[in-house]
Amino acid sequence: MKNNFDKISFAIILAFLSSVAVQIVSHATEPSPSQEVSELMAGGNFSYALKFVNEKIKQNPNNAELYVARGAVYARAKKNALSMLDQNKALEIFDTYPAQYNSVSKSNALHNRATLFNRMGKKYEAERDYLEAIKLFPSNSISFFELGKMQLKQKRYSEAKENLAKARELFMKQSNQEDIKEVDKLMPLVDKALSK
Partner 1 sequence: MTEEKKPEIESPPVLSKLEKSEISNDAVIGGARKSEHQLMFLDARAEGNQESPSDLSLKALNPEDPQYASLIANRFEIVDNTPKSIKNGELKPLYDYSPLISKDNEVSIDFYRKVVEAWFSLPEIERNELIGAGVIVRCKEVVNGEKGTPAAFFHATKSNGPEIHIGATGTDTQSAVSIFNENRDVSGSLKHEAGHAFFDIFDLAHDTNFSKLFYRDFLKLPKDMKNDPQYKNQSHVFAECYAFVRGRQSDRVNLVKEHFREVRKFVEKKFEK
Residues at the interface with partner 1 (CB under 8 A): 25-26, 28-32, 34-35, 37-39, 41-43, 68-69, 72, 75-76, 83, 102, 104-105, 107-108, 111-112, 115, 118, 139-142, 146, 170-177, 179
Q: Which is nearer to partner 1, 111 or 161 (CB)?
A: 111
Reduce the DSSP state of residue 89 to 3 states and report it: helix
Instruction: State the nearest-atom distance from the C-beta of 81 to partner 1, in Å.
Output: 15
Instruction: State the nearest-atom distance from the C-beta of 12 to partner 1, in Å.
Output: 25
Instruction: State the nearest-atom distance from the C-beta of 113 to partner 1, in Å.
Output: 10
116: amino acid identity, one letter:
L
Q: Which is nearer to partner 1, 22 or 194 (CB)?
A: 22
Pure H helices in 29-156: 33-42, 46-59, 64-76, 80-96, 103-120, 123-136, 141-153
CA distance 185 to 183: 5
- CA dist list (Å): 4 to 7, 12, 16, 161: 5, 12, 18, 78
Q: Which is nearer to partner 1, 144 or 157 (CB)?
A: 144
